[in-house]
Amino acid sequence: MAKDGLVDKLRSLIRGSGERGALTPRLEEKLRAQLRECAEGQGGEVSARARAARLAETYAGLDDAGRRRFLKIIALEFGPDPEQVAGAHAAYQAAVGTPGQWNAESALRRAMRSSRIRILTQFNAIPQGVKFLVDLRADLLRFLEQDPDLAALDRELESRLSAWFDVGFLELHRLTWHSPAALLEKLIEYEAVHEIRSWTDLKNRLDSDRRLYAFFHPRMPDEPLIFVEVALTDHLAGNVQELLDEHAPVFDHRKADTAIFYSISNTQVGLRGVSFGNFLLKRVIDDLKRDFPRLSQFATLSPLPALAAWVRRNPAVLAEAGIELSLEALSTGTWAADKTLQRALRDPLQRLAARYLANAKQASGAPFDPVSRFHLGNGARVERLNYLADSSPKGFRQSFGMMVNYLYEFDDIERNLEAFASDGRIAMSAGVRRQARDK
């Protein structure tokens, strides 16, 4: 098969447009033989590339049950040899303190290196190989929930992807309305915070008072890994519908003194656990400061995506905050049409959100809210709560319309980060902290 044909076929299969079949016993035995060839590294580079391409094509053509079996074979049958590891470990223990210690250590390291790594690494050489591995891990994460036997393979693949997607290899690009249409379509597809409703909506987010930046990997030039949307303003924005209003006049970006990060979307499920969002923000801030020297304030307008989930686990917090409506009633948002209820719920909902950000924790002690974990872990401060800031159905469903501004104050970032990392201390403005304590 010609190289271009293979690329097209793999791309089509990886995206799921091809028919998928079962892993028959005969095909399974053939698959095992191909995996053994990969693990043993038979032949030269051309042979390895061809073998990996055949394996990728086989995998991409399987249904879910077949893919799960494929991954389980790699996980269970191509790990380190226990006898070799035991022998190498005994030799290392005997060599400690002798001139042969370092050779014994090297031998132990080789013994512990599983054939799974050799198999995975060979996919790197084929067209679309890196994307194939990222999508393969997305499958692996789905199957892992019901099949703990896949955990070792997941850890090894995550480790390899972390190395291959090190931030030093990533490229930051600003995307504009003039970027390739296929790339703009992916922004619409991948936007995870505030749905892009139309091409007009997207064009508004790419206007002169907006910026959109994305990280790319050289081996995946057509796939943004993560992207951030920025609004240039002269105030701390507190309502996302106003921010995304397609009919609002375009702000003169030359007068901007504030950059609002209002959406950050990870696009590749298979890169879960591979962290580069913090580097994206730092790079974007540097880029904005260079282009707009007047910018003095960098903040977010962020959702509270797990607030309703926390209330569901702790229903007593509603009454404690002075809220008489049920979780279900709050989540519909219909109460917001009643001006009397609007006024009555302002302080209680802000109190609830402040206590959530200040006190809601995971079992590990980390903040319950994933967006909060991200920004606090990068040294931001919880600056201000915004009532009825997101009146979309999703906004009411996940946080009763509440949103929050996180502020990146450069003189405080390192101090905030160190306090959060060392003892979990959350940086908060005096106003939000007072709301968290209010009776």
Catalytic residues: 302, 375
Please tell me the distance from the alpha carbon of residue 431 to that of residue 435, in angstroms, as a whole number.
Answer: 6
134, 160 Cβ separation under 8 angstroms: no
Q: What does residue 430 show for φ and ψ, rounded to 5 degrees?
A: -60, -35
The pairing of beta strand 297-300 with beta strand 258-266:
parallel
Q: What contacts 232, CB < 8 A, 6 or more positions away? A: 209, 210, 211, 251, 253, 256, 258, 259, 260, 292, 295
Q: What contacts 390, CB < 8 A, 6 or more positions away? A: 239, 240, 241, 303, 396, 399, 401, 402, 403
401, 395 Cβ separation under 8 angstroms: yes
User: In whole angstroms, how far apart are CA 54 and each of 23, 116, 213, 319, 367?
Assistant: 15, 17, 36, 61, 45
Please tell me the distance from the alpha carbon of residue 311 to that of residue 421, in angstroms, as a whole number.
Answer: 26
Q: Residue 309: which of 398, 404, 401 has the closest Cα?
A: 398
114, 81 Cβ separation under 8 angstroms: no
Residue 258: beta bridge partners?
Answer: 233, 297
Report CA dihedral (162, 164, 169, 173) to the nearest 10 degrees.
-80
CB atoms within 10 A of CB 132: 25
User: In whole angstroms, how far apart are CA 110 and each of 80, 90, 94, 107?
Assistant: 9, 14, 17, 5
Please tell me the distance from the alpha carbon of residue 163 to that of residue 186, in angstroms, as a whole number.
Answer: 25
Residue 216: beta bridge partners?
Answer: 171
Please tell me the distance from the alpha carbon of residue 230 to that of residue 242, in angstroms, as a whole number.
Answer: 14
Q: What are the start-end ranges of the H helices in 165-233?
A: 181-190, 199-205
Residue 265: beta bridge partners?
Answer: 227
